[in-house]
Each structure stands twice: as structure tokens, then as C-alpha cells.
Amino acid sequence: MVTREDMRLLLQVAEWTVQSHRHVMSTIRELAGSEEHYLIIARELDRVKADNARARSFHVEATLTLVEWLIIVDFYQWKCAYCQEKPFEVMHHRVPLHKGGTTPSNCLPACRGCCTRRKKKPPDPAPLITPTENSKG
Ligand SMILES: [Zn+2]
């Protein structure tokens, strides 16, 4: 369970990594404040970096930042965007990565089950609004 307070902190750390273009794990650990937050940041940072690298290898767009990814994941309450029941496990691409790239509008959190089955139509993209602007919840 990631609370509003957790999310605010995670976004602060994520913004630092995006603005500084540095991924110094010791500083990230310090900024994150707790081991739990640090592990979330480290895991999602790796995920974003790996998927951007994969997109670049296909010469398609690779623009997703850690901040954007956290906002998308938080929009779906850290659950799978398809079934909205299970916690998300993988970054899923609406349009296959080698065509659609790794961009905010192409990436969704998904559980492994929905990712392999994919019977359901992908949900609409998460609006990229910051949590403070999202007063409706
Ligand atoms: Zn699912």
C-alpha cells in the first residue's frame, strides 16, 4: 500500500533522478528515507531504464521518465491496469515495444496473467497529472 505521503516522497526522489540525470544509488537511498521507498525507486528506475534501452535498440521512441511512470502506476493504484485486482508486476506496452516505443502513452502496469492472456482491451491511457492536481482521487 502506497499512501499519498509515500507517493509525494517517491516523486521527489524520482524528480531528482530525472533532473540531475544521475542515478547515484547512495543518494537515492538517502533521499528515499526508508528502505521500503528506496527499493520501490530502485526497482522502478531499473524497469524504466531497461525498457527505454530496449526501445532505443529498436530505434523507436524512448522518452518515459521515472516521474511519468510513477504517476501512471499510482493512477492505477499500483495494480494491474487490465484486471485492476492484482498488484502490477510488469510494464506492458499497448502497442508492442518495437513499434510503439517506451513512452508515457504506451506504457501500462500489468500483472503477468493479463500480460500473457491479454483478452481484455487496454484501458485508456492514464492522464499525466501530478497527484496534487488530482483532487478527485
Ligand atoms: Zn491483471
Distance 24 CA to ligand 1 centre (A): 33
**Tens digit of each residue's pLDDT (9 = 90 or more) over 11-65:** 999 999 988 877 788 899 999 999 999 999 999 999 999 999 999 999 999 999 9
Give buried/exposed letters for 16-43 (b at 16+ CB in 10 A, else e). bbeeeeeeeeeebbebbeeeebbebbee
Looking up cell 494491474 gives 80
**Tens digit of each residue's pLDDT (9 = 90 or more) over 85-108:** 999 999 999 999 999 999 999 999
Distance 114 CA to ligand 1 centre (A): 4
**CA-to-CA distance for 105 and 37, rounded, in angstroms?**
25
CB 18 within 8 Å of CB 27: no
Stated pTM of the model: 0.84
Please name the amino acid found at residue 31.
L
**CA-to-CA distance for 64 and 104, rounded, in angstroms?**
5
Q: List CB-based neighbours of ion ligand 1 within 5 Å.
A: 80, 82-83, 86, 111, 114
Distance 118 CA to ligand 1 centre (A): 9
